[in-house]
Structure 1
Amino acid sequence: MSELRFSLADVAGVRLAVSPANETVMSMWALANPIRYAVHLPWIDRARVTLRRPEVADRVRPLVGLVVPGRWLPDFLTPAARPNVEMAEQLDQIAATPPAVVVQDLLSTTWQKPLSPFGRALLADPGGLLPQVVDAVRVWYDEAIAPDWPRMRALLDADVAYRAAQLAESGAGRFFEQLHPSLRWHGDRVISDDTFERDFDLRGRGLALNPTVFTEQHVLWNLLEDSLPVGAYPVRAVGTLWEAAASPPGDPLARVIGPGRTALLYLLETALTTTDLARLTGMSAGNVSQHLAALHGAGLVSRSREGRHVRYRNTDAAAVLVRASRGG
């Protein structure tokens, strides 16, 4: 069980953001354990082919040596993300990690499993080998994550918008209890029903929360009291991430309303914007807008405004159609 103790400043400092570094680093878990991460098999199959290329395998080896199944990640690999952060900025954050912090973060992971050979080498020469780690993260992002980043980003951004609305409407206590079944708010703290046994005093630093597609069971916290407080939680609707943009051949719903509109209904089990849907389906924004207008006029999607964004979601009538088309 972990506990995070909040002051009023910490409650006000809860912030949500998407972290491309988190997705890049944590994706290694899925690659190492495809059965546990079966929802990502379409990505895993492609990523394994990528990792077998010698020019990629050689440069990514330091990251493979640090992301070991069954052992916690060193905090410096998952830096706190601000809203709209880009990968280049997070790579700069990792590169700027002081050698003493690299050592401290590595040692904090060893109670579960010993360090890999590269981990031991980094422990002995953090200043000299950290650039190899940064290069490994950069290469893996470019080769394995970037091609799918638009669809990942759309799903993650939609979750951030949804959670931000929950936080504004419900307050911190209810927000954390809705964030994940393992969390509950108790007085001035969040209690996390996990196996990590961390005890954090946030000390007015607030808390960065990052949805991630590659965490499936728990909310993961940074390990050390001195690290910037960060939690990574499972994104909503991850099962839609690798769905084909078009409806499958012979889909009965597609024969009635067309494949484009059917693809949108399959995705709108979670609230998404026109931009999100364009990224996920590969359609143009104009085409998506035309389909949404027709679906809204037919009472199959609802829309709501959140600041500058309009989000669409299936109505109950659409949910019935989708279930029937899928044989449910």
Structure 2
Amino acid sequence: MRVSELRFEPADVAGVRFTISPVWETVSSLWVLDNPVRHAVHLSWIDRAGVALRRPEVAVRVQPLRELTRPRRWLPDFLTPAASRADVTLDEQLDQIAATPPDVVVRDLLSTTPSGPLSPFGQALLVDPRGLLSQLVDAVRIWHDEAIAPDWPRMRALLEADVAHRAAQLAEGGTGRLFDQLHPSLRWLGDRVVSDDPFERDFDLGGRGLALNPGVFTDRRVLWNLLEESPPAGTYPVRAVGTLWETSPTPPGDPLARVMGSGRAALLHLLDSPATTTDLAWRTGLSCGSVSQHLAALHAAGLVVRTRRGRHVFYRNTDAAMVLLRAAGGE
């Protein structure tokens, strides 16, 4: 088995942080369109996004991005910059891409060639990075507006719930527990992370820390941005991605729905992992006002707890709620 090793100094352990990247989701989503069978969990999104991409006026403007995200090809690091913080906006990341120095564009493009030759747009960008970079930025924006923005509140809520879960792991068990539970392909060995990885890299973080972000369209393994000249970053598969497109979480004939109503039962079925009011509204089809009322009642009954993290309040089932769910399921 091939592995990569990421070596940590004390400053790197202290510099582990979590981010959410709108640009990463936008760019990586094109891989999903190229292999819908592998990403069957996203079929409802794939159908909608495919319709958008077949529109000629969208296809021609997104083409530069498509050429740099071909299947089984490495991405140039400048295209997916490490998010500076958890609430970074799309515009901020696009400004970061647009400000990439020409020599960095060239360096990052050349670093992808071991995985295959550059596409026609990649070759043109290599020759004229200053003149053509704006076309690439425009392509990312157009694709985000067409394919990601309509579902971004739902995606972001799922990503924020994952970050809240990982932050709790880090606070309760330290860096070792975090990496041991982040993904089955990772192992923490005291001063390094060993990652099952076909590229067999040996990388010293060098005191720069490590940005970690969950990815909706990331599957199977952790993907690393590891160049000596770029901020180190890794993207791992988000938890509970199978719930992302659910709209009817209450099982037919659910006994809890008969006792407490379908809305409150639906929320309990979803709250085995932290979620915000907005996330729950998207996933149940209820209004935010209705979700807030149900959560207030469940909280008063001791069935959910709430935790504030930054600007957001996350809800999660208590042990008492889990007992109710198991009993209703006949376990």
Q: Under a length normalisation based on structure 2, what TM-score does the superposition of the two structures give?
A: 0.90
Percent sequence identity over aligned pairs: 66
For the 8 Å contact 2:218–2:235, the answer to whether it is kept is yes
Which digits, 9 at most, give the CA deviation of each residue in 1:212-239, with x for residues without a partner? 1111111110142211101001100000
Q: Which amino acid aligns with 1:72?
A: W
Match of 2:252 in 1: 251
Aligned equivalents of 1:165, 1:298: Cα separation in 2: 24
CA contact (8 A) 1:18 1:210 kept: yes
The separation in 2 between residues aligned to 1:14 and 1:259, in whole angstroms, is 41
| Cα distance in 2 for residues equivalent to 1:7 and 1:20 | 29
Distance 2:285 2:77 in 1: 35
1:303 aligns with one of 297, 305, 326: 305
Partner residue of 2:227 out of 224, 229, 237: 224
2:173 is aligned with 1:170: yes
Structure 2 Cα separation of the partners of residues 3 and 73 of structure 1: 20
SS at match of 2:114: coil
Q: What CA distance in whole angstroms lies between the structure 2 residues aligned with 1:199 and 1:148? A: 37
How has the CA–CA distance of structure 1 residues 322 and 116 changed in structure 2, closer, same or farther, with 3 Å as cutoff?
farther
> 3-state SS of the aligned residue for 2:29?
helix
Give the superposition deviation at 1:294. 3.8
* Residue 148 of structure 2 is aligned to residue 141 of structure 1: no
Q: How does 1:70-219 map to 2 (within 5 A)?
A: 70-81=72-83, 82-219=85-222
- Aligned equivalents of 1:135 and 1:322: distance in 2? 51
Change (3 A) 1:323 1:148: farther
After superposition, the Cα gap between the structure-2 partners of 1:34 and 1:323, relative to the gap in structure 1 and judged at 3 Å, is farther
What's the CA shift for 1:186?
A: 1.4
Q: Secondary structure at the match of 1:142?
A: helix
Q: How has the CA–CA distance of structure 1 residues 282 and 86 changed in structure 2, closer, same or farther, with 3 Å as cutoff?
A: farther
Of 48, 59, 84, the residue aligned with 1:46 is 48
Structure 1 residue 4: Cα displacement: 1.1
1:63 matched to 2:65? The reply is yes
Partner of residue 323, structure 2:
317
Conserved in 1, the CA contact under 8 Å of 2:249 and 2:266?
Answer: yes
Instruction: Give, as a single letter, the amino acid of the residue that structure 1 aligns with 2:156.
Output: R
CA distance in 2, matches of 1:167, 1:265: 25
> In 2, Cα distance between the equivalents of 1:234 and 1:199?
22
Counterparts of 1:234-313 in structure 2 under 5 Å? 234-244=237-247, 246=248, 251-253=252-254, 256=258, 257-296=260-299, 301-307=303-309, 309-313=313-317
> In the aligned structure 2, how far is the partner of 1:255 from the partner of 1:233?
35
Report the alpha carbon displacement of residue 149 of structure 1 after superposing the two structures with TM.
0.1
Give the aligned length: 322
Equivalent position SS for 1:215: coil
Query: Which one of the candidate residues 8, 11, 22 is aligned to 2:10?
Result: 8
Paired residues of 2:32 and 2:46 also in contact (CA < 8 A): yes
Change over 3 Å in CA distance of 1:305–1:2 after alignment to 2? same
Tell me, yes or no, if the aligned pair for 2:179 and 2:193 is still in contact at 8 Å: yes
Q: Deviations over 1:233-257 (max 9, x none)?
A: 110000000001x457x92128624
Shift of 1:209: 0.5
What amino acid maps onto 1:320 in structure 2? R
What is the CA deviation profile of residues 182-224 of structure 1, one whole-angstrom value per residue up to 9, with x for unaligned ones?
1111131111111122222111111110101111111110142
Paired AA for residue 25 in structure 2? E
Q: Deviations over 1:65-115 (max 9, x none)?
A: 000111121111111111210100000011111111111111111112222
Cα 1:198–1:278 shift into 2, 3 Å: same
Unpaired stretches in structure 1, ≥5 consecutive residues:
none
